[in-house]
Chains A and B, each alone.
Chain A
Amino acid sequence: MDVMSLAANWTFDGLLALALLWVGWRVLASTNLFKGIVFFIAFGLLVALSWVRLEAPDVALAEAAIGAGLTGALLLAALSRLRRRQDSAQASDQPLDAETSRTARLSLGTQALLIVFSAVLFVCLGTAFLSLPPLTPGLGPQVAEQLSASGVTNPVTAVLLNFRAYDTLLEMGVLFLALVAVWSLSPAPAQLVTAPGSILISFVRVLVPIVVLAATYLLWIGAYAPGGAFQAGAVLAAAVVLILLAGENTMPAGSTWPLRATLSLGLGVFVAVGMSLMGMGRSFLDFPTDQAGNLILLIEVAATVSIGVTLAALFLGGQPQRGSPK
């Protein structure tokens, strides 16, 4: 690499690192919650860019879609609910200063404790980082060695859906439990948006098919290149969130079981595949080499649909009521 491009790389990475620190500080320090959320979204995009620079496009995709996109939308939805509660509390003369409580100061003892804790954490992490051998092969060679038996050619998908499928199964479980917790706390707000406007509606009409196409592409390409169920699910969730924001949010008057079935599909198919392999005399989630590709695709399709709907349901922030606006 010649000197010019080396200098350009260092300049870019240096600016990126400084921007990360500055934006991260603004996320924590801004007293205005809305401003904090906007900085958080910008922070997520910068983190995604950093993953691209570290040549980890899989993580970059997940960070951009989930970390910046959906978490940002979740936080904004939470903020608007906070404000609504605040308004109704003010109407009944009860001060509820969710907005201003960020400016409240911690006691000196708590501050000292936090500073000591952060310093200890910093020293521990620094020591751990410095004590690492400068170059290790990691588990990369082992994965490469076994890749042909995994049923896919993308090493990340091989690890996530085959070698460490257990972890991914548990992640699906965590997502499912999170939604169960949200549903048990409160019903969904009766009205999500007021009069979305014709421009937003026609924008959503154009965009949603493209987004669904992109999600399907991410799901399919995951076997060969960066992509996969979580990224595809997050993109799918974005489509559902857009539809919700465009006001298309009435549940069919019937029962909610189709929604419940869709939400549990991913976890259900994952467990069913694992168990049926046990029935065939293998261990749980121990894929036979010749069927591994198909089984992974089956699990990923189910997982994508469930992740998409679950993330969108989390955005909704409560259990949809039967027959009422979703």
Chain B
Amino acid sequence: MVSQAVTIVLLLAGAGFFLAGTLGLLRFPDVYTRLHSLTKADNVGLGLMAAGLAVQAESWAAIGKIALIWLLVLLASATGAHLVARSALRKGIKPWTL
């Protein structure tokens, strides 16, 4: 019962990050700020979801797999965000300022 409650809280928190990240992706002014909001969903949002699912996992091996998925996405999303930002900078897109 407690584990179910923990899972629900973690999944909802993760979904919150995904929602906020998507909102930022749609509403933020330029490519750099949009990347910033997108990586929050990828990193923290997915991390919370993975934690929520790990609570329900039946074995340590399953927890390991979930953790591995999260770590790989972390690595890939950070690299991807870096590549997009780098390519945008090279094309001469100026970061948004007030």
Q: Which residues of A contact B (CB under 8 A)?
A: 197, 199-200, 203, 206-207, 210
Contact = CB atoms under 8 A, between A and B. Distances in A.
B83 interface: yes
A210 B72 contact: yes
A210 B76 CA distance: 13
Contacts of B75: 203, 206-207
Nearest to B68: A210
Leading 6 A-B pairs by shortest Cβ distance? A203-B79, A199-B82, A199-B79, A200-B83, A197-B86, A200-B79
Interface of B: 72, 75-76, 79, 82-83, 86
Question: In terms of DSSP, what is the predominant structure of the interface of chain A?
Answer: helix
B10 to A, nearest CB: 19
17 contacts: A197-B82, A197-B83, A197-B86, A199-B79, A199-B82, A199-B83, A200-B79, A200-B82, A200-B83, A203-B75, A203-B76, A203-B79, A206-B75, A207-B72, A207-B75, A207-B76, A210-B72
B60 to A, nearest CB: 19
Contacts of B86: 197
Contacts of B82: 197, 199-200
Nearest to A202: B79
B70 to A, nearest CB: 14
B40 to A, nearest CB: 19
B23 to A, nearest CB: 19
A206 B71 CA distance: 12
A210 B86 CA distance: 26
A230 B76 CA distance: 24
Contacts of B79: 199-200, 203
Given A200-B82, A200-B83, 7 more contacts: A197-B83, A199-B83, A200-B79, A206-B75, A207-B72, A207-B75, A207-B76
A197 B80 CA distance: 12
Nearest to A196: B83
A200 B83 CA distance: 8
B47 to A, nearest CB: 19
Contacts of A200: 79, 82-83
A207 B71 CA distance: 11
Contacts of B72: 207, 210
B42 to A, nearest CB: 15
Contacts of A199: 79, 82-83
Contacts of A207: 72, 75-76
A12 to B, nearest CB: 14
B86 to A, nearest CB: 6
